[in-house]
């Protein structure tokens, strides 16, 4: 199985990763509770903006009306909140996710928070090759060297020219985000298009879909192509327990070929968690070869050293 498994993350994935908050109890926001979780209510009131309105509508309205000062004040508060977030010491869904995919796979995220990156960094030295990452709307911890066209940790130095990485922009909720304007963001979307074009499996985790972001929709659909030509591929949706399954499939219908999809309401029921580092092989053996296979689930309760020890079984087979 050389074709990639692409995992697309939305805000619901970070919330599921830290249901009780980050290392210090800070909650990961969703769009419907963004104002209060990030602590923007008093600022919005000072700016004479209704804090009960949807944050996407608030920000888009300010942007379209060229209210630069208000936009800047909001951005500073939002970035301050996300910059404080830290992954808990215990293993999380994101630790299990990055360890369960391989270099040909891709995790693409719309999220600004640093939790996926922190999971990637702390699991990067255990001898397993990890998947590619793409930050579609930027990330609070990602930097970029324009000269050498490489990304790295924000604040670190480029290994080629020695210059400090420029902090990546965060793309805020406006209808026209201009993904091609910034070189880093353009490259992240190039990775996503490659992933969707070549994927055998797509898993959407915690995202209801970019309904109003026409540029994002066109990029993903253009790479995936006509769904009826995806006769072998599989699409998986991991949604919140409270989310309606019919609505979820409706939102992602353009990426689902007939009955070739599944829905889980818990990451640990997914093919990724039940068949780590072998999702494609397991699926092929069960459904194409009609073989009996057993699950090899990630142990959820191990601490990091024991988790790394458990994953050592894959090293020899992968070289």
Pair 121, 98: CB distance under 8 Å: no
Q: Domain check: are 35 and 121 in the same one? A: no
- Of 21-30, 62-71, 207-216, where does mean pLDDT reach its minimum? 207-216
> What confidence tens digit (pLDDT) does each residue in 26-72 have?
999 999 999 999 999 999 999 999 999 989 999 999 999 999 999 99
Q: Domain check: are 116 and 53 in the same one? A: no
Say yes or no to pLDDT of 266 above 80: yes
Provide the pLDDT for residue 149. 85
Counting every residue written for the chain, the total comes to: 319
Cα–Cα distance, 265 to 14 (Å, whole number): 14
Q: Domain check: are 13 and 50 in the same one? A: no
List the beta bridge partners of residue 203.
Answer: 7, 236
Domain span at residue 72 reads 31-84
Is residue 158 situated within a structural domain? Answer: no
DSSP class of residue 287?
I
List the beta bridge partners of residue 142.
Answer: 153
Overall number of domains in the chain: 2
pTM of the shown model: 0.95
Identify the burial level of 201 via C-beta atoms within 10 angstroms of its C-beta, where 0-12 means exposed, 13-18 middle and 19 or more buried.
buried
Q: Domain check: are 131 and 243 in the same one? A: yes
Say yes or no to pLDDT of 224 above 80: yes
Q: Domain check: are 53 and 124 in the same one? A: no
Cα–Cα distance, 103 to 132 (Å, whole number): 6
- Gap between the terminal Cα atoms of the chain: 15
Q: Cα torsion at 307, 281, 274, 315 (round to 10°)?
A: -10
């Amino acid at each position: 199985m050389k074709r990639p498994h692409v995992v697309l993350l939305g805000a619901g994935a970070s919330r599921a990763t830290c249901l009780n908050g980050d290392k210090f109890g800070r909650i990961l926001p969703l769009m419907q509770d963004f104002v209060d979780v990030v602590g923007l209510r008093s600022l919005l009131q000072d700016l004479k903006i209704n804090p009960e309105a949807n944050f996407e509508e608030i920000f888009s309205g300010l942007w379209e009306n060229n209210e630069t000062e208000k936009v800047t004040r909001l951005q500073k508060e939002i970035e301050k909140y996300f910059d404080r977030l830290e992954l808990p010491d215990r293993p999380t869904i994101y630790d299990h996710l990055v360890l369960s995919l391989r270099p040909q796979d891709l995790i693409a995220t719309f999220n600004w928070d640093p939790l996926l990156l922190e999971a990637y960094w702390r699991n990067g030295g255990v001898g397993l090759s990890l998947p590619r990452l793409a930050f579609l709307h930027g990330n609070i911890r990602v930097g970029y060297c324009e000269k050498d066209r490489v990304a790295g940790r924000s604040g670190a130095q480029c290994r080629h020219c020695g210059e400090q990485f420029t902090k990546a922009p965060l793309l805020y909720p406006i209808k026209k985000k201009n993904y091609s304007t910034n070189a880093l963001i353009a490259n992240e979307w190039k990775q996503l298009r490659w992933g969707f074009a070549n994927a055998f499996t797509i898993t959407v985790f915690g995202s209801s879909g970019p309904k109003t972001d026409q540029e994002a929709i066109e990029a993903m659909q253009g790479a995936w192509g006509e769904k009826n030509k995806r006769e072998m591929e599989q699409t998986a949706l991991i949604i919140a327990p409270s989310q309606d399954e019919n609505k979820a499939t409706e939102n992602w219908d353009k990426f689902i070929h007939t009955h070739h999809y599944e829905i889980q309401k818990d990451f640990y029921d997914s093919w990724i968690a039940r068949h780590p580092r072998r999702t494609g092989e397991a699926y092929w053996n069960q459904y194409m070869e009609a073989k009996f296979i057993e699950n090899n689930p990630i142990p959820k309760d191990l601490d990091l050293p024991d988790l790394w020890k458990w994953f050592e079984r894959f090293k020899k087979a992968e070289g």
